[in-house]
Structure 1
Amino acid sequence: MSDKELLIPASQIDSSAINARTRRGRIQMLLLLLACASPVIASYFTYYVIKPAGGKTNLGTLVHPAQEFNSAWLDAPIQGKWTLLIARPSSECQIKDEKCIEALFLMRQTRVAMGRESGRLQLIWVNTDGKPVDPEVTKVYDEKAAGLRVVSLPADPKLRAEFDTWLNKEGTGQQIQLIDPSPAKMMYFPVTNSPKEFSSMKKDLEKLLKLNHKGENL
């Protein structure tokens, strides 16, 4: 102990040590509280400052809440499957009809692009007028070669009206609908011939198939 310390009363030395320990204790307590509260602070910051608008997608539009699909509407195994679905009248879907063929082509190529996971994704075309499908279209987009199943609207007027309401909700009737295994519409995609948008659609589906296996019936 130095001469200066000898001149300081013992009570003052004890008081200084106590105050120092108290300050250290308070700092440690604040750090501990901050560590415990950081998740809450982060969530408040995210909600009130960043304000997320929902899940992020590359091309598809998320449907929230998902729109339940009634398996009685179509003669196809919708429950337990990931399904890309379009609804078009066959009379307007000739081989030279670019708008319709683009939709069929996009669905087929997207399924092919899933590689080893392609078996988990089925393609459904709802033929809304019940007329025979153009043989040239069938040749290129049949179920065996392209995995595309063509089904008709339900015969029951009530079921048909229910399906039509579901299909066209939020004005998405002309879009490509993505139905999850539950089954419910959870996303829809525009019909596009853009390579960039095709890549974005592929990424959306790859992400979904990678992260979601619940309820599948393979």
Structure 2
Amino acid sequence: MNDQDLLIPASQVDRQAVDARTRRGRIQMILLLLACAAPVIASYLAYYVFKPEGGKTNYGTLIQPPQAINPSWLDISFSGKWTLLVARPASECRKGNDACVELLYLMRQVRLALGKEKNRVQLVWVVSDRLPVDPDIKQAYDPETAGFIIVPAPDPKNSTVWLTWLNQQNLGSGIQLIDPSGEKMMVFPDKAESKDFVRMRKDLDRLLKLNRKGEKI
């Protein structure tokens, strides 16, 4: 102990030692927390900030924030079930128009592929031109056989707000996914190839597995 130390009370020396140990302990704790949090921070930055295209885990496009559907637009309940909705004119969805019919077929097959979980999902075709649906198409995509609910587009007086909701992020031609609370949260591309079927089913499998909030089966 040198002369300078003799001028410091013993209690003060002990306090300084305690403070030094406390600082070291806090620094070690912060470093430990940073080491544990590093993977989480890195994954957050990769998904939400940098968003590398090749690292996407979902096929559909997320709608942020989710967009609630007005229950008065369509004569159908969107509460309590997941809904895959597509808007197409009846004048196009006829035999010979493969693009439209194949899209309806894709939706039906994706729902069937969910197996015992299929009843958690309803399919909705909004007839955008409000014209009568071809009888053969209507029979093939009825509620009993295919799980489809076919409804006319909203009254023309509501067409502006409806089309704005439908075309959120310029995705109006896609397959809209509405969650059990009645909010659109994802849109799938309007494609009907086998690879699209697999990707879409995987997204739905993942969502149905992780989320049952608000469902009424």
2:157 is aligned with 1:194 = no
The residue type paired with residue 180 of structure 2 is P
Q: Output the CA distance in 2 between the equivalents of 1:202 and 1:209.
A: 10
What is the 5 A alignment of 1:68-83? 68-83=68-83
Q: Output the CA distance in 2 between the equivalents of 1:70 and 1:48.
A: 34
Deviations 1:50-73 (A, max 9, x none): 845399434211111111111111
What is the 5 A alignment of 1:1-218? 29=25, 31-46=28-43, 51-53=49-51, 56-155=56-155, 157-218=156-217
**Number of residue-to-residue matches in the alignment:** 195
CA distance 1:36–1:210, change in 2 (3 Å): same
Deviations 1:70-114 (A, max 9, x none): 111110111222000000110111022111001100100000001
SS at match of 2:59: coil
Which stretch of structure 1 is more off in the superposition, 73-82 or 49-58?
A: 49-58
Contact 1:46 1:52 in 2 (8 A): no
CA distance 1:140–1:67, change in 2 (3 Å): same
Structure with the bigger percentage of helix: 1
Contact 1:94 1:134 in 2 (8 A): yes
Q: Which has the larger radius of gyration?
A: 1
Contiguous gaps of at least 5 residues in structure 2? 1-20
Deviations 1:36-60 (A, max 9, x none): 3334544554456784539943421
Identity %: 45
Q: State the shift of 1:207 in Å.
A: 0.3
CA distance 1:116–1:71, change in 2 (3 Å): same
Q: Output the CA distance in 1 between the equivalents of 2:119 and 2:41.
A: 42
SS at match of 2:112: helix
- What is residue 9 of structure 2 aligned with on the other side? none
CA distance 1:41–1:114, change in 2 (3 Å): closer
CA distance 1:32–1:205, change in 2 (3 Å): same
SS at match of 1:144: coil
The residue type paired with residue 59 of structure 2 is L
Q: Output the CA distance in 1 between the equivalents of 2:86 and 2:92.
A: 13
The residue type paired with residue 31 of structure 2 is L
CA RMSD, 1 decimal: 2.8
Q: State the shift of 1:191 in Å.
A: 2.3
Contiguous gaps of at least 5 residues in structure 1? 1-24
Contact 1:73 1:160 in 2 (8 A): no
Q: Output the CA distance in 1 between the equivalents of 2:46 and 2:83.
A: 37
Q: Output the CA distance in 2 between the equivalents of 1:104 and 1:46.
A: 36
